[in-house]
Amino acid sequence: MASLVQELIEAGIHFGQRRSNWNPKMAPYIHGIRNQIHIVDVRESIKGLLLAKRFVEKTVGDGKDVCFVGTKRQSRGPIEQYAAEVGMPFVTERWLGGTLTNFRTIRERLKRLDELDRLVETGEMKNYSKKMESQLMRERKKIQRNLGGVRTMTKLPAALIVVDTNREKNALLEARSLGIPTVCLVDTDGDPDLVDIPIPGNDDSMRTIDIVIRELCDSVKKGKEGRSTSAGESPVGEGRDGGRGEGRGEGRGDGAPARRRSTRAKFRADDGAPVATTEPTEGA
């Protein structure tokens, strides 16, 4: 933990925006002002990061996927590197309107990409005229550039991990309308109310973004390990008497199945731990 804190400080996570360019909603996360620049409270940054790591690990451990979003230049490299390593979808080129709210259309475009790839692999592309072949290749390149990162996303993600609330506002609004929890690295000019789990910090520093995305992807790895562990266990819990659902947390003991909690949850960073609620997410 101490090494992580030191690493984040050396990366400059505590440097915010200029005093004249701040969002008053970020006041609880600001420690002070130095040379007309807001200084982020590192304790709040660590609290938000640890809360986000626990949430991501639990979400992935439950068999769900998370999607990384960061279209600014500083975030493209880290997201493409770490998200690809853990096999999670990502968006680094441009957030297309309706990527979540109109997901069916996005899947249709990805099916079109599969068709074009098949034409190239089988050599059938050569059967078209030069002009048509050029048009198809341009179409293939455009779809791959915009949607290549979400090619493996066959269903809506369980959570969105975002860098910069201002730049990715459309993605956050789409997630909110669908009740999808969001985690975001928020600078002092951002709006933390758009995010379920804010990580206050410098969202312009490439080193800071690299560390935050790396730590969250480590949680993804741990969550995937939890998947494999759960898969190796018996699907029905047996108590000491060999009965079903008699142990702790395995039903109510009367043969009735345990009540399932709502999958829509809201998380508060001020508690230091996720709090589940059955109330719908604001704006859903």
CA 87/CA 132 separation, integer angstroms:
34
pLDDT at res. 226: 81
Average pLDDT over residues 246-262: 47
Averaged pLDDT for residues 157-182: 95
Q: Look at residue 71 and tell me whether its pLDDT is greater than 80.
A: yes
Of 57, 37, 13, 77, residue with least CA distance to 208:
13
pLDDT of residue 54 exceeding 80: yes
What average pLDDT does this structure show over 62-84? 93
CA–CA dist 89, 66 (Å, integer) = 7
Structure tokens given for 22: 């701040």
pTM for the full predicted model: 0.77
Q: How confident is the model at residue 278 (pLDDT cuts 50, 70, 90)?
A: very low
> Quick check: 178 pLDDT over 60?
yes
Tens of pLDDT, residues 214-246: 999 999 999 998 877 766 654 444 444 444 444
pLDDT at 82 over 90: yes
Q: Give the list of residues 6+ apart from residue 14 with CB closer than 8 angstroms, or none.
A: 8, 31, 39, 40, 41, 42, 45, 201, 202
Residue 21 has φ and ψ, to the nearest 5°, of -125, 45
Summarised one tens digit per residue, pLDDT across range 30-41 is 999 999 899 999
pLDDT exceeds 60 at position 268: no
Mean pLDDT of 120-148: 91
